[in-house]
Each structure stands twice: as structure tokens, then as C-alpha cells.
Structure 1
Amino acid sequence: MNTAVMDGGVRRSQTRRAYDELKRRILDNELPPGTQALEQQAAEWLGMSRTPVREALIRLAQEGMVEVRPRHGMRVLPIAIADLRDIYDLLAGLEATAVDIIARRGLQPQENAELDRLLADMTEALALDDRTVWAEGDARFHRRLVEMSGNQRLIVMVETIREQSHRARMATLQLRPKPTTSNDDHAAVVAALRRRDAEAATRLIRTHRLRAARLLIDLLEHHGLNHL
């Protein structure tokens, strides 16, 4: 194989690894809003050269997660409340479309079993008061609901939007009340799907998402996390 082609492949692989790892740290608030770092410092975090890190930062800047400043490196951008409202409005509508599709065609036996497992996992996490495990289960529940719709365009749209809300959810995870209401909402949505009650399922998931948005925004504003 041509050496230049091989080098290009390695470079793309390194850039992708830098992008994935920096993005994960930002979304999980390991690099909270306001964090600043020079390219060299970010490269040292990742154990790689500056070039793939620079390219990864440019991509993250295009996605609105960081600001890249010449000779000053990067700064993780704050969480924008206005953006969060838009994101949850979209999530509420798109997930309502997904559950409407599921309710009208009916759940398959394996889907019923999987939803039972997901509900049980979240219940167990709350019993142990493990917010991190609960949040992971909550994300899986919402992701699988959309995937069960079978609408590939819808799946891609929701995943892109949901990713943008993840950082705010993780920032407020330990600040919010114990999310028993969320678990109750999930169980109610599943019950409506099993009845094939599309109207109830769409109303419940929409209400659930909009209630979550209000809680999230109130917590961010109260604790000043949107101004970090």
C-alpha cells in the first residue's frame, strides 16, 4: 500500500480518536463549561501529537461545543438555556412520533421483554441511589423506544439531538430530586404501548420530556451552570 495513503489513514484514525475522547469528556462534564486548555495540554491529556487534536477541536468548534482561539487553545462553551429549550421541544415531538408508530403496530414479544428489563434496571438503580447507572438506563430506554419505531431517519435525528442534551443532564444529575417520577412516567408509557393506545402514549412521552426540560432548565439557572 502507498505510504502516503497509510499515513493519511493513521492521521484520520488519530483525529477520530481525539474527537471522540474530547467530546466524551465534554458531554460527561469531565471538561465542564469554561474549561480552557492549550492545544499542547489537550494533546498531553490524550497522549498524542497536536495535529489530530487541532483537527478534532476544529470539528468540535463547528458543533458548538468549544471555542478555538489562536495561540490560546480552546475553551469549552457554556450550556445555552435557549438551545436546551429548543432541543427538548424537538425531542418531545420526535419521541412522540416514535411511540405513535410503535403503538399503532403493536409491541413484539422480544420488545416487551426488553422494556421490562430496562424498567427493572432503572428501578434497581434508584433503589441503590446510583444516579449514574440510572442515567445510563434512562438514556437506553429513550434510545430503544425510538429504535423500536423502525424509522431510520427518525432514529438519526433523535440521536443527534439527544446528544446535545446529555451535557446538561450530567451537569444536573446530582442536583435533581430522586427521579422516581421519571421511572413512573416510563412505566406509564410502556403500559400505553401495550394497550396500543397511541393517543395516551404520545401524550405521556411528550409530557415527560417537557417536564424534564423544565426541571433541567430550573436547575441550571438556579445554580448558575449556564454561565460557567
Structure 2
Amino acid sequence: MEREEIFFERPQIEFETRDKSKVIADRVYVQLRSAILSTELRANKRLVENELSEWLHVSRTPIREALVCLEKDGLVERKNGWMVHEHSPQEIRDRMESRLVIESYAARLTAGRRSDADVEKLRAINEAMRKSATSGIEYYQMNDHLHQWIVDASQNATLIHIYDLTKLNYWNLGVPIVYETELNAVMLAQHDEIIDAIQAGDGDRAEAISRNHIQVNIDLVQASLAASRKRTVGKNDPWLDPR
């Protein structure tokens, strides 16, 4: 399926060939998942079926089916009713380590399979990030979209699906990640290097730069979360001793 030419939206599921009830449940799943990953629905938010039904203008049945799927994704849980799942330090670490492996290998695959349109899109997103000069949620969304595009361009459906399961929204972790101006420039320059390697068809280089780039992000997230949890939890927090 051709990828959408939109900065902040993933390609939509093809609904036409599926029965109506499944179509509705799939659409609700996509809407709720997007709301969670965009922080419209934050961690520990109670998800009341009747309220969601009114909000999305559907019956409770597709709401319930979508919530079951989101539970399998690790995004919601049942605790005296449905709620948005708050990830533990171990879960966050597991997902980020998985992302490091998956996304860097996706960059290798994309270097051998990318189209000219993929390269143009990646450069356009990175340039928009450079011009935005912000570390807020809009900047984060553009960054997320760039990385997602690299994975999608790998044309490996299984890898794309697994990558989706590793995704976290840092604002839903309770800690907005603030990129310092100097670090911002470094991250954007690394994007340029990854895109250059992809355009050149150099899978080895694309994978190596991507791995280093993602590790910088992981270190930043861990440091931010550790600092936040040290203030609110105390010295025995798992983030302070990740071994």
C-alpha cells in the first residue's frame, strides 16, 4: 500500500474488502491507538466504553473489540475497567532496546529498497524539523514520522508490525523530552547522514549511523526519566541502576 503524503499520519488500513463490523472495529482501533500515542489519551486515563462510544459515534461492540486489540499491544489494561497503560521502567527499556535493533536494520533494508520519493520525503521532514526550531510535541511528531517513514520504506510488513509494538510516546511516559539546541543540531545532522546513506544505497552505513542515532535518543530518554523519577520516587528506582 502506498504511503500517505502527510507528515503526522500513518497509512490507513484498507477497509474495503472486509465486512462492516470488522471495518468499524479496525477504524476504532486506529483512532484510539492514535489518541494514545499522541497523548490525547494519557497514561492512567480511564476508558469508559459508553463515553468512547459517544465520542467516536459507534456502538460499544467495536469499542470493546478495539480495546482488546490495544491490550495485546500493551497500550491499555484492565484495572476495574479499562485504562491507558502506564509503562514500567522495564517495559520502557525493553521497547527502546528492541527499537534500536529493529529500526537500525530497517534503515539497512530501506537503503536497498527506497524510491526517489522516499528520499525526497525524508529530506522534506528533516528540513521542516530544522525550520521549526522547537522541542515541543510538534517537533517530536515530525521526528517520529521521519523514523516511521524509514521503517515503512523497508517494505517488510513483519518488521513494520513489530516496530509498531515498540512505539512509545515520551509525553505519555510523563516526561517531555527536551532537546538542547546544540543536541538538536547534532540529531538533525545525523538524520542527514542516514538519508544520504539511504540515497546512496549504502546499507552498512545507514544501519551504523541509525544505531548510533537511536542510542543517543535512548540515553536521553533514560536520563530524563531517571531524573524525573528520582525527584518523585526516590533512590530505589530501577532507572537509576539499569543493570
Q: TM-score under structure 1 normalisation?
A: 0.74
Q: Which moved more, 1:42-51 or 1:203-212?
A: 42-51
Write out aligned runs for 1:60-209 (5 A): 60-69=70-79, 72-103=80-111, 105=112, 109-126=116-133, 129=134, 131-158=136-163, 160-161=164-165, 164-168=166-170, 171=173, 174-178=176-180, 179-193=184-198, 197-209=202-214
Counterpart selection for 1:13 from 20, 23, 28: 23
> SS at 2:74's partner residue?
coil
State the distance in 2 between where 1:30 and 1:114 align.
26
State the distance in 2 between where 1:114 and 1:59 align.
31
1:30 equivalent to 2:37? Answer no
State the distance in 1 between where 2:46 and 2:110 align.
45
RMSD: 3.3
State the distance in 1 between where 2:62 and 2:189 align.
45
> SS at 1:166's partner residue?
coil
State the distance in 2 between where 1:220 and 1:54 align.
32
Alpha carbons of 1:92 and 1:169: their partners in 2 closer, same or farther (altered >3 Å)?
farther
User: By percentage of residues, which structure has more helix?
Assistant: 1
State the distance in 1 between where 2:59 and 2:224 align.
38
Alpha carbons of 1:190 and 1:172: their partners in 2 closer, same or farther (altered >3 Å)?
farther
Alpha carbons of 1:153 and 1:44: their partners in 2 closer, same or farther (altered >3 Å)?
closer
Instruction: Give percent identity, aligned residues only.
Output: 22
Structure 1: any 5+ residue segments left out of the alignment? 1-7
State the distance in 1 between where 2:224 and 2:143 align.
19
